[in-house]
Amino acid sequence: MKHLQISPAWFFTDGQGEQLDPRLFALLRAVHKQNKLTQAAEACGFSYRHAWNMLQHWEEFFGTPLIEKQRGRGSRLSPLGEKLLWAEQRVAARLEPQLESLSSEINLEIAHLLEGNKPVLRLHASHGYAVALLPKHMGELPLDLQYCSPADALSALARNACDIAGFHLPIGTAQALNREYRKRLKPRNHQIIQFITRRQGLMVQAGNPLGVKGLADLAEIDLRFINRQTNSGTRSLLDALLKEADVSSVKIKGFEQVEFTHSAVAAYIAANMADVGFGVEAAARQFGLDFIPLARERYVMACHKQLLNDPKFQVFLNIIRGEEFRKAVRLLPGYSGDDCGLVSTVDETFKAREISIYEA
């Protein structure tokens, strides 16, 4: 199957409407990682001359260097080079859920036109690194993946607007949050598919220069915090953890500043626009940040019982139970897919000791 992928494009206007070459960002990323232009060019598949000419062209365009040569230490990005790189990564990270949802809709429309109306599996889910892997592994199974908050996903399931709803359950903490999700599910009507487990915590700048150790430091240290939007599952988890730790969000500088994905929070910190954020470990590692684990959670999916016998659902289960998908999950820092594809009842899921809402 052919898949359309939507990516943001950059336009810098100099009166002639010249478009910034997107390959420049790949080169800037490689210079940032390799610290040598020769190795950066090789990593991008460019000749050294081509890479050098590209940099010269855009340095003339902006009127300032994009890289700085260091005697005996290779090259590093200039302040403008760093700003361009982090801006590109912030834009991509912030728009990722919307673009993926839109591309899913368009791909399905194209598939219907070319191949007819095949059965489609509709998944509404909270955005995350493991969920984002699904479209790449579905093969011939048409997947309509729409990102939304856990509450909205479960509401969509209740009104039959989706087949599967993805949400996450904290392990051993924030049980009030689990109780809220439990109220939305009916044991006689629903089943739970185990998906992955992941670690959430504080993302801090490399080396943790402020010495942040836990949630209390967010209110006690003079730092800049970057938050998630109020309706996200990760924000709900953070709010619950702060309440358990008796930490007032009013005392956290920047608590009202929000981004819309884990990677967008990490990119914001990597760009030195904030000191600390809350999210998954995979995002922190992606942007070279340090990570302080605070919670583990199970990412699960709910469906109506009658879906269990649907052929397209069986295909979906076989894919997420397969070694290829589990291997991809294992490559994500802080993620585990050991129980991926295990089907259980609502009561079995919520009575499990690690997420039990029944214990005192």
Q: What is the CATH number of the domain that holds 31?
A: 1.10.10.10
Does 113 reside within a domain?
no
Does 315 reside within a domain?
yes
- The answer on 39 and 144 residing in a single domain is no
- Whole-angstrom Cα distance, residue 30 to residue 28? 5
Domain range for 27: 23-77
- Whole-angstrom Cα distance, residue 99 to residue 79? 29
Does 112 reside within a domain?
no
Does 111 reside within a domain?
no
Does 185 reside within a domain?
yes
- Which pTM was predicted? 0.85
- Whole-angstrom Cα distance, residue 157 to residue 344? 17
Does 108 reside within a domain?
no
- The b/e string for 263-273 (b: 16+ C-beta within 10 A; e otherwise) is bbbbbbbbbee
Q: What is the CATH number of the domain that holds 347?
A: 3.40.190.290
Q: How many domains does the chain have?
A: 2
- The answer on 293 and 157 residing in a single domain is yes
Does 83 reside within a domain?
no
Outline where DSSP puts E strands in 87-157. 121-125, 143-147
- The answer on 130 and 40 residing in a single domain is no
Q: pLDDT by residue for the chain (360 residues), tens digit each?
A: 556 777 777 777 767 777 788 899 999 999 988 899 999 999 999 999 999 999 999 999 899 999 998 777 789 999 999 889 888 888 888 888 778 778 777 877 776 666 667 789 999 999 999 999 999 999 889 999 999 999 999 999 999 999 999 999 999 988 889 999 999 999 999 999 999 999 999 999 999 999 999 999 999 999 999 999 998 999 999 999 999 999 999 999 999 999 999 999 999 999 899 999 999 999 999 999 999 999 999 999 999 999 999 999 999 999 999 999 999 999 999 999 999 999 999 999 998 767 767 653
